[in-house]
Amino acid sequence: MARDRANINTNIWTDTHWRTLTRDQQWLYKLLLSHPELSYAGVADWRPGRLAQFSAGTSRHEIERIGAELQAERFVFIDEETEEVMIRSFLRHDGLLKQPRLTVSMVNAYGAVASNNIREVIIHELKRLYSESPELNAFKNDKVQALLRLPARPMEAFTQGFTPELTLSFTPAVTPNVGQAQGLHTSTATSTATPTDVGGSGGTRRKPERPLPDGWHPNEAHKRHAAAERINLDFQAERFKNWALAKDARYRDWDRAFNNWLLKAEKQTETRSPWETEGIH
């Protein structure tokens, strides 16, 4: 059964995290939420080229960038290998778990998800809901109870603290245009950290999330990217450090976190005149 409507709670506008998103981020999230092919499990095809066609003047590059930002903010989870995207809080806010018939549709939609990583995140979110609201009608269903016994992992197990996997590597012979970092590559959202051997026992563990290290500063790749995109690196680095300290933020890889920060700064550069852009020379 296909969805013919999307449930958007009006109290979304009272949510502080939602209101910190940019207009572009909110737009893409609402596009995915109301997409006609979004399943009852909150999963849709991740085809940036196709999604760009829903609004005039939008490029594939913009969709990829905004999608990475939404993933960094924990709103969506993208598996580029299977070309699927999951709205992380869909089951929590859509209300379908209160309706027995739609609960069956959710179970069937889960079975159609190709990404094993997204499947585990769905089960994780379902288990969270069960621990908070076991009285929901959905949890009286034997098929849902069977889902609760499946393997589950939180989204950060795949996205390394919700920082998109970004590496900065520029070809010296090419000078990117403003708003188009030609050498900026985004690896699959399902990449995991390099395992670290624990005590020589053959076991592995992921790097822990940590606060901003003392003495952190932009690396050479950041400097090249900022120069190519006409971004005031010192200004953005200072803003980044102030934000990290004020939020008591935790990341496994702070250099990659700053990569995403620079992408946002790049977008601001695209939408302002040079004399309107803070700190741009």
pLDDT tens per residue across all 281 residues of the chain: 556 677 777 788 888 999 999 999 999 999 999 999 999 999 999 999 999 999 999 999 999 999 999 999 899 999 999 999 999 999 988 888 888 888 999 999 999 999 999 999 999 999 999 999 999 989 999 999 999 999 999 988 887 434 433 333 333 333 334 343 333 333 333 333 333 333 344 444 456 778 899 889 999 888 888 888 888 989 899 888 888 888 788 888 888 888 888 887 765 554 443 333 333 33
Domain hosting 91: range is 14-154
The answer to whether residues 104 and 49 belong to one domain is yes
The answer to whether residues 40 and 124 belong to one domain is yes
The answer to whether residues 190 and 120 belong to one domain is no
The structural domain count of the chain equals: 2
The answer to whether residues 48 and 132 belong to one domain is yes
Residue 138 lies in a domain: yes
The answer to whether residues 20 and 93 belong to one domain is yes
Residue 9 lies in a domain: no
The answer to whether residues 145 and 23 belong to one domain is yes
Residue 200 lies in a domain: no
pTM of the shown model: 0.57
The answer to whether residues 59 and 134 belong to one domain is yes
DSSP letter for each residue of the chain: ---------GGGGG-HHHHTS-HHHHHHHHHHHT-TT--TTSEEE--HHHHGGGSTT--HHHHHHHHHHHHHTTSEEEETTTTEEEETTHHHHH-GGG-HHHHHHHHHHHHT---HHHHHHHHHHHHHHHHH-TTSGGGGSHHHHHHTTS----THHHHTTT---EEE---TT--PPTT--TTEEE--TT--PPPEEETTTTEEEPPPPBPPPTT----HHHHHHHHHTT--HHHHHHHHHHHHHHHT--BS-HHHHHHHHHHHHHHHHHHS-TTTSTT--
The answer to whether residues 144 and 19 belong to one domain is yes
Residue 36 lies in a domain: yes
